Amino acid sequence: MSKQALWSGRFDGGMDESTLRFTSSLDVDSALAFYDVMGSLAHVRMLKEQDIIPVGDADEIIRGLISIVSAMEKGEFETDDSLEDIHTNIEFRLTSMIGPVGGKLHTGRSRNDQVATDLRMYLRDIILEAVMDIDTLAMSMLKVAEEHDGTIMPGFTHMQHAQPVTLAQHMMAHVFRLSRDADRLLNALDRMDRCPLGSAALAGTTYPIDRRMTAEALGFRAPTQNSIDSVSSRDNVLETVFCASMAAIDMSSVCEELILWSSQEFGFIEMADAYTTGSSIMPQKKNPDIAELIRGRTGAVIGDLVSLMTMMKGLPLSYNRDLQEDKGPVMDSMRIVSDGADMLSKVISTMEIKKDAMLRAVGKGFINATDLADYLVTKGVPFRDAHAAVGESVRYCIDNKKELEDLTIDEFRGFSPSIEEDVYDILPVKACVERRLSYGGTSSASTDMQITEAIGMIMERDERIRQETQLIEKCWDDLLKDV
């Protein structure tokens, strides 16, 4: 079959070269090549089972498709730029190998449902990969937490010293944010776990196809319920990129802190040489470029989301060629997230933590003032009165260049007669930390519970990924069996 014969019929003339260049998606959808062949194998095996095409023709097509997969695995499958997309390339390769019988593969389907199915299979794989990368990053932070449940640092609000916390609790805050990012991606995967194949162009097909058979063969739990929705909706793509945006934003927040912490003003950490760069002119510099690039590329992920939302907002049902533009943004955003999580995990796993610098910083900014107010409340003072009394004591300390723990009992009693000698037991920052035993708090007992919970969540996702991967691999093995 000639290239022109693939999509000819209604047209007298061939496609102009500029039209081909403008409409080609080959540079992007080549990533779907393997999924396209697997979808075709499921489809033709169903056509055979349903006696829609002759058994001999189906077997010939199956062998041809398996041969194409083999060529892909060996790196021997070459695409032809004169064909507008990967789907056409594969069909042309098939018909070149086995002749006109290859054209029977397209019975009962359209490129619309074919592409929608390929994309869902692709998304399934990159989501599972991204979740593993995010969990690897979370584990690197969790290990820091395990090693530093006694490392005290300032907790911040408004970038001002607020209350003393442990580095363990601070790291665990990021771990739980990342854990939600991973969960969001898996939740998105649950909603796209239906197979569009068999929806055809938009209205379904007159052939007696078995959509449940193809869905099961490709590892989906069921077929999509509406053929128009199947070929026109891309909420699965939008949701994936939204989840990627949230993950990128959360990683950017980590990077911002690491950049600040590695500065001379903070001096809380030093990044490993392997994940920093020098200056072209200033020999003393050690720049946190990896963290800065992850922070910077977050804008591209958010931009991908805005691009897709803008593309989708005005599309009527059902398929429109605009939808060709859905693949680049999702591929780009998921690559940025996976690469960023991988690199950030390496930065965190290798950085040196300056515990002494963190502890020195805790001594600034009256970080134990809230504990003094809480102490007064335990003595029966209303919190608002306690708040005012401690505020006055802080002002006194600033004027007299003292810290709260430097005040004498007489000075304390000048602000509240309820203060007694036991006040000195609650002012040390270690005591401030360990008194916060509430669930989710910063005490070592509380952070130990957080670490245990987070490990359990990661292990659950790991098991989910293992099961999903096994199912997918079994589907591929079954589809690639010779006839």
At residue 292, the pLDDT reads 97
pLDDT in tens, 254-263: 999 999 999 9
CB 320 within 8 A of CB 236: no
- The answer, yes or no, to whether residue 12 has pLDDT greater than 70, is no
Q: What is the DSSP string of 88-99?
A: HHHHHHHHHHH-
Give phi and psi for 263, each to the nearest 5. -75, 160
CB 93 within 8 A of CB 33: no
279 is catalytic: yes
Is residue 150 domain-shared with residue 90, that is, in the same domain?
no
Dig out the tokens for 8 from the structure: 């000819």
Q: What are the helix and strand counts (H, E) for the chain?
A: 20, 6
Burial code of 368-389, b = ≥16 C-beta within 10 A, e = fewer?
bbbbbbbbbeeeebeeeebbeb
- Which residues span the domain enclosing 76? 3-107
In a domain, 103, yes or no: yes
Alpha helices by DSSP H, 148-210: 167-191
| Tokens 């540079």, residue located | 27
Q: How confident is the model at residue 3 (pLDDT cuts 50, 70, 90)?
A: low
At residue 481, the pLDDT reads 95
Q: What is the DSSP string of 255-270?
A: HHHHHHHTSTTT--EE
Q: Which of 309, 328, 361 is the last residue of a domain?
A: 361
In a domain, 437, yes or no: no
At residue 26, the pLDDT reads 82
Is residue 61 domain-shared with residue 190, that is, in the same domain?
no
Q: What is the CATH number of the domain that holds 176?
A: 1.20.200.10
CA–CA separation, 369 and 371 (whole Å): 5
Q: Are strands 194-195 and 222-223 parallel, antiparallel or unpaired?
A: parallel
At residue 19, the pLDDT reads 82
Number of domains composing the chain: 3
At residue 278, the pLDDT reads 82
- Please list, in sequence order, all residues whose beta carbon lies within 8 angstroms of the beta carbon of residue 74, skipping any fewer than 6 positions away: none
- The answer, yes or no, to whether residue 70 has pLDDT greater than 90, is yes
Q: Which residue has the higher pLDDT, 17 or 67?
A: 67
pLDDT in tens, 323-375: 999 999 999 999 999 999 999 999 999 999 999 999 999 988 888 998 899 99
What percent of the chain has a predicted confidence (pLDDT) above 90?
88
> CB burial class (10 A; 0-12, 13-18, 19+) of residue 90?
buried
Q: Which of 318, 340, 361 is the last residue of a domain?
A: 361
Q: What is the CATH number of the domain that holds 91?
A: 1.10.275.10
Is residue 18 domain-shared with residue 54, that is, in the same domain?
yes
At residue 376, the pLDDT reads 95
Is residue 344 domain-shared with residue 303, that is, in the same domain?
yes
Choose, from 2, 18, 158, 280, the residue flagged as catalytic: 158
Q: pTM score, two decimals?
A: 0.92
158 is catalytic: yes
- The answer, yes or no, to whether residue 1 has pLDDT greater than 60, is no
Helix, strand, coil share of the chain (percent; to 5): 65, 5, 30
- The answer, yes or no, to whether residue 221 has pLDDT greater than 60, is yes
| Range 401-416 average pLDDT | 92
- The answer, yes or no, to whether residue 82 has pLDDT greater than 90, is no
What percent of the chain has a predicted confidence (pLDDT) above 70?
97
In a domain, 323, yes or no: yes
- The answer, yes or no, to whether residue 294 has pLDDT greater than 60, is yes
In a domain, 474, yes or no: no
CB 103 within 8 A of CB 1: yes
In a domain, 244, yes or no: yes
| Range 306-319 average pLDDT | 95
Is residue 74 domain-shared with residue 137, that is, in the same domain?
no
Question: What is the average pLDDT value for the chain, to the nearest integer?
Answer: 94
Q: How confident is the model at residue 9 (pLDDT cuts 50, 70, 90)?
A: low
| Range 173-196 average pLDDT | 98
- Please list, in sequence order, all residues whose beta carbon lies within 8 angstroms of the beta carbon of residue 413, skipping any fewer than 6 positions away: 419
Is residue 50 domain-shared with residue 135, that is, in the same domain?
no
Q: Is 154 helix (H, G, I), strand (E, B) or coil?
A: strand
| Range 463-475 average pLDDT | 98
| Range 153-178 average pLDDT | 95
Is residue 310 domain-shared with residue 402, that is, in the same domain?
no
CA–CA separation, 71 and 88 (whole Å): 17
- Please list, in sequence order, all residues whose beta carbon lies within 8 angstroms of the beta carbon of residue 476, skipping any fewer than 6 positions away: 38
| Range 208-216 average pLDDT | 98
Residue 195: its H or E element: strand 194-195
Is residue 355 domain-shared with residue 256, that is, in the same domain?
yes
In a domain, 15, yes or no: yes
Q: What is the CATH number of the domain that holds 385?
A: 1.10.40.30
Choose, from 8, 70, 96, 279, the residue flagged as catalytic: 279
CB 158 within 8 A of CB 180: no
Is residue 180 domain-shared with residue 288, that is, in the same domain?
yes
Q: Number of C-alpha atoms within 13 angstroms, CB side, residue 163? A: 17
Of 112, 87, 120, 117, the residue nearest 196 (C-alpha): 117
- The answer, yes or no, to whether residue 419 has pLDDT greater than 60, is yes
Is residue 265 domain-shared with residue 401, that is, in the same domain?
no
CA–CA separation, 195 and 50 (whole Å): 18
CB 235 within 8 A of CB 243: no
Q: Which of 305, 340, 361 is the last residue of a domain?
A: 361
CA–CA separation, 330 and 298 (whole Å): 13
- The answer, yes or no, to whether residue 97 has pLDDT greater than 60, is yes
In a domain, 343, yes or no: yes
Is residue 242 domain-shared with residue 181, that is, in the same domain?
yes
CA–CA separation, 312 and 305 (whole Å): 11
| Range 132-160 average pLDDT | 96
pLDDT in tens, 15-64: 778 887 888 888 888 999 999 999 999 999 999 999 999 999 999 999 99
| Range 145-168 average pLDDT | 94
Is residue 348 domain-shared with residue 375, that is, in the same domain?
no
User: In this structure, what DSSP letter does residue 287 have?
Assistant: B
pLDDT in tens, 233-260: 999 999 999 999 999 999 999 999 999 9
In a domain, 102, yes or no: yes
